[in-house]
């Protein structure tokens, strides 16, 4: 048995395997809501292009505007719009939660969970409200 | 929800309902292959199966999952007791770090049932019916459940976790009021188990440049210590798009800390200090 | 083994040193976020109110100077918030040289879209 003095020094970096992370980590409200916030942000970036396109169509004349309206009023368009509204409210409520954290409030674990569920509930409620309101117009 | 008793443990976790392909996007040498099953002794009545990550550096193969059927009447109540039972009675090559067995040294930090905790303070009764034990996430594995912590400790060294002063040392102690001493409460208790850092998705994607919650919590501990006189220099070293600002307030760290500390809050404090000195 | 880096853990962790900056972008994202809260809620409410209007109704609404102003402010805050957020995401996930190309593409696209939107708004408000 060689003593530690005889063995060559251990290499600075192990060449072993990397332990699994995303594949085995339990999904929790913290990580899932954070990912949803990021995903809704990316989706909203795409919707911003749609907003600019809508403004361009309005500036171009009633012809392009009507074709844009037709697309938005189709079934696919309405589904995408509904998803967009949900993403908007999710990112908005999540964003307000983030701003509270940046100000220093709401870091205790119970508050994190209460505010997290509140964000989910508020997004769903506001989306439903928006759809009800627009169907009445 | 936050689990406070074993009755709240969900019967079937999301990962069991929607299993992720275990080896998706993983480099060939980290791919996990099925291992062997170690049956329980014949006279055992209360048996629970533990799926444990194994890796043998000497054999040079891939890491594998070994299933151990454990006689719960023969070992203590904690997950660490199960590991020790397995090492004593079934497979003596099972390798893991442990020392104090009471949750103060941080050696036995590992991923139990998908979340990071200390094995010595996690009750077996609170584990899933088929418990899984993995080493801390996104770490180079030396053997079985032993991760290579050199990088995270080097990151800890980087924030210079010692008192930095210019005024000469007084005759006795550097004085600090009780209120000032209270500022470091909730941060000095960190045992550097790295459960939080290895559970942080941002650290998974940017381990080489993002310091991680454990190190940033300690950075905060030294920033708010009233006896320290290098606050500006510490903030200079931290103000970096990667060292600090890879934190997106995911808060997996606060969720998983086995000592109940709040790294997310500490990092929020650092960000506030950095804003204060800019405006 | 010989191909592995011989750099010490501390050297590797220290990297290129601290950039000594980063607050500006962090603060800019928060400022644009706070500005966006009232602006986007206003836009959402207005779009819901005009969801049943025809072309003339929408144009009449867009020609109001207040609406044009709010829309321009919204576009500026939206695209700066967007650009900052997307750049952070790119920095998180892409580490090769492609990162710089992606950052440039995102910034140019956001700026162009912002200017396009502002021009369209001004065209409706001032010319039609």
Q: What is the nearest CA distance from C2 to chain B, expressed in angstroms?
A: 18
CATH class label, A31-136: mainly alpha
Give A55-68 pLDDT, tens digit per residue: 999 999 889 999 99
Q: For residue B28, is pLDDT > 90? A: no
For residue C52, give the nearest of A59, A62, A137 by CB distance: A137
Q: Are residues B31 and B141 in the same domain?
A: yes
The CATH number of residue B23's host domain is: 3.10.20.30
The whole-number pLDDT of residue C53 equals 85
Written as tens digits, the pLDDT of chain A (137 aa) is 555 566 666 666 678 899 999 999 999 999 999 999 999 999 999 999 999 999 999 999 889 999 999 999 899 999 999 999 999 999 999 999 999 999 999 999 999 999 999 999 999 999 999 999 988 87
Classify residue A99 by burial, with Cβ atoms within 10 Å: 0-12, 13-18, 19+. middle
| Interface contact B111-A17, CB threshold 8 A | no
Phi, psi torsion values for C115, nearest 5 degrees: -65, -40
Domains (range + CATH), chain C: 22-127 (1.20.1300.10)
pLDDT at position B9 over 80: no
CATH number of the domain that residue B215 is part of: 1.10.1060.10
Q: Are residues B108 and B159 in the same domain?
A: no
The tally of domains found in chain B comes to 2
d(C-alpha A87, C-alpha A95), whole Å: 12
Q: Of B92, B127, B147, at which residue does a domain stop?
A: B147
Q: Do C10 and B209 touch (CB under 8 A)?
A: no
pLDDT at B113: 95
pLDDT one-digit tens code per residue, C95-111: 999 999 999 999 999 99
What is the distance in angstroms between the Cα of A107 and the nearest Cα belonging to chain B? 6
Residues 6+ apart with CB under 8 A from B152: B139, B194, B197, B212, B214, B215
Task: Check if A13 contacts B (Cβ < 8 Å).
Answer: yes
- B139 and B166 belong to one structural domain: no
Sequence-ordered strand ranges (E) for chain B: 33-38, 47-54, 64-71, 109-112, 115-118, 130-134, 141-143, 146-147
Is this structure's pTM higher than 0.95?
Answer: no
pLDDT class for C52, splitting at 50, 70, 90?
confident
pLDDT at C2 over 80: no
Q: Is A102:C30 a contact under the CB 8 Å cutoff?
A: yes
Delimit the domains of chain A by residue range: 31-136
């Amino acid at each position: 048995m060689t003593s530690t003095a005889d063995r060559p020094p251990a290499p600075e970096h192990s060449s072993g395997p990397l332990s699994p992370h995303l594949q085995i980590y339990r999904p929790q409200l913290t990580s899932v809501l954070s990912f949803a916030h990021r995903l809704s942000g990316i989706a909203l970036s795409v919707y911003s292009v749609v907003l600019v396109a809508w403004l361009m169509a309005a500036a171009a004349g009633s012809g392009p505007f009507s074709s844009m309206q037709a697309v938005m009023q189709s079934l696919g368009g309405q589904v995408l719009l509904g998803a967009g509204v949900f993403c908007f409210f999710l990112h908005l409520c999540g964003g307000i939660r983030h701003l509270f954290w940046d100000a220093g409030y709401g870091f205790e674990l119970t508050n994190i969970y209460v505010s997290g569920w509140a964000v989910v509930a508020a997004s769903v409620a506001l989306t439903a409200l928006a759809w009800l309101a627009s169907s009445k117009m | 929800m936050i689990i406070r008793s074993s009755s709240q443990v969900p019967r079937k976790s999301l990962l069991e309902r929607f299993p992720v392909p275990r080896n998706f996007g993983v480099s060939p040498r980290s791919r996990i292959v099925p291992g062997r099953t170690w049956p329980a002794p014949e006279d055992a009545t209360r048996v629970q199966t533990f799926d444990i990550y194994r890796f043998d550096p000497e054999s040079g193969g891939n890491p594998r999952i070994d299933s151990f059927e454990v006689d719960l009447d023969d070992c203590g109540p904690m997950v660490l007791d199960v590991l020790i039972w397995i090492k004593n009675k079934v497979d003596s090559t099972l390798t893991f770090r442990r020392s104090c067995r009471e949750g103060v040294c941080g050696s036995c930090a590992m991923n139990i049932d998908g979340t990071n905790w200390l094995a010595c303070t996690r009750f077996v009764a609170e584990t899933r019916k088929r418990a899984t034990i993995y080493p801390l996430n996104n770490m180079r594995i030396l053997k079985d459940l032993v991760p290579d912590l050199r990088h995270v400790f080097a990151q800890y060294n980087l924030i210079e976790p010692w008192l930095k002063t210019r005024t000469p040392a007084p005759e006795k102690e550097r004085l600090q009021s009780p209120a000032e001493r209270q500022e470091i409460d909730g941060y000095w208790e960190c045992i550097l188990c790295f459960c939080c850092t290895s559970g942080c998705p941002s650290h998974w994607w940017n381990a080489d440049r993002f310091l991680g919650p454990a190190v940033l919590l300690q950075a905060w501990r030294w920033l708010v210590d009233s006896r320290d006189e290098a606050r500006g220099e510490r903030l200079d070293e931290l103000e970096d798009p990667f060292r600090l600002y890879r934190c997106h307030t995911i808060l997996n760290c606060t969720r998983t800390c086995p000592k109940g500390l709040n790294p997310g809050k500490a990092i929020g404090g650092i960000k506030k200090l950095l804003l204060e000195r800019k405006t | 083994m010989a191909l592995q880096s011989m750099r010490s853990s501390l050297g590797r962790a220290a990297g290129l040193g601290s950039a000594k900056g980063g607050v500006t972008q962090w603060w800019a994202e928060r400022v644009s976020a706070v500005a966006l809260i009232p602006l986007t809620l206003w836009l959402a409410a207005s779009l819901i109110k005009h969801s049943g209007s025809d072309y003339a109704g929408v144009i009449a609404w867009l020609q109001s100077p207040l609406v044009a102003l709010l829309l321009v402010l919204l576009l500026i805050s939206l695209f700066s918030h967007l650009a900052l957020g997307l750049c952070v995401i790119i920095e998180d996930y892409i580490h090769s040289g492609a990162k710089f190309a992606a950052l440039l593409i995102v910034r140019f696209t956001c700026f162009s879209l912002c200017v396009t939107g502002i021009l369209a708004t001004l065209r409706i408000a001032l010319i039609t």
